[in-house]
Structure 1
Amino acid sequence: MAGPSGKPDPAAALRLRLDKWLWQARFFKSRTIAAEVIAAGHVRVNGTRVSRPGRDVGEGDTLTFPQGARIRVVRILALGQRRGPATEARALYLDLDPGTSSPDPLE
């Protein structure tokens, strides 16, 4: 992505759309479902409610969102390059809920 000067912006590579990250980390089965949850205002980034699926997130951001009957609280550790297997997806975040053992979110 180019910055105002037309040159590539190195900081842009360190961010990813919220809906895409939630999908890559395997919290939702599709980006469409992730986008709907975000657009409904059910997701918080660093404690602030967001309603734009295209909101950028990066390493260190904390996300709070519903998943089934649970409320998930996770910290982004990495952005990832693709939607890989569950073992790869688990390396993208740290589950901040001390009562869970971070099982595969889609099971």
Structure 2
Amino acid sequence: MVKARTSAAELVESGHVRVNGVRETSPGHAIKIGDVLTIALDRAVRVLKVTAFNERRGDAASARVLYEEVGDVKRN
């Protein structure tokens, strides 16, 4: 969703991320397989279900297989 961990942490800290419908403000909050993340981005809200984890950090292509897109809602 974002390119850097610091950008992801800023999204969480500013209240733009929900885990299973509950607003999360702690970037260190652990998630598990099956959790649903709702992420408010600039012009859209993305809803993703966590399906797996990688042993190590990887590129964007390898990250795409770790979640399932549940929904995408456009914002004005």
Report the TM-score when normalising by structure 1. 0.62
Q: Which among 43, 68, 76 is matched to residue 94 of structure 1?
A: 68
The CA RMSD measured in Å over matched residues stands at 1.6
- Larger-Rg structure: 1
How far apart are the structure 2 equivalents of 1:87 and 1:30? 15
> Which of residues 22, 44, 47 in structure 2 aligns to 1:48?
22
Per the TM alignment, residue 89 of structure 1 is displaced from its structure 2 partner at its CA by: 1.2
| Aligned-partner residue type, residue 65 of structure 2 | A
Indicate the SS of the match to 1:89.
helix
* Structure 2 segments unaligned to the other structure (5+ residues): none
Amino acid at match of 1:77: T
Match of 2:2 among 18, 21, 28: 28
Give unmatched runs, 5+ long, in structure 1. Answer: 1-26, 100-107
Deviation at 1:98, TM superposition (A): 6.8
Letter in 2 for 1:35: A
Any idea what the Cα deviations from partners look like across 1:36-82, whole Å, max 9, x if unmatched?
11001111000000100000001000000122311000000012123
Which residue of the other structure, out of 45, 66, 71, is the alignment partner of 1:71? 45
TM-score by length of 2: 0.85
- Structure with a larger share of its residues in strand: 2
For these two proteins, the number of residue pairs brought into alignment is 73
**Residue in 1 aligned with 2:56?**
82
Percent sequence identity over matched residues? 42
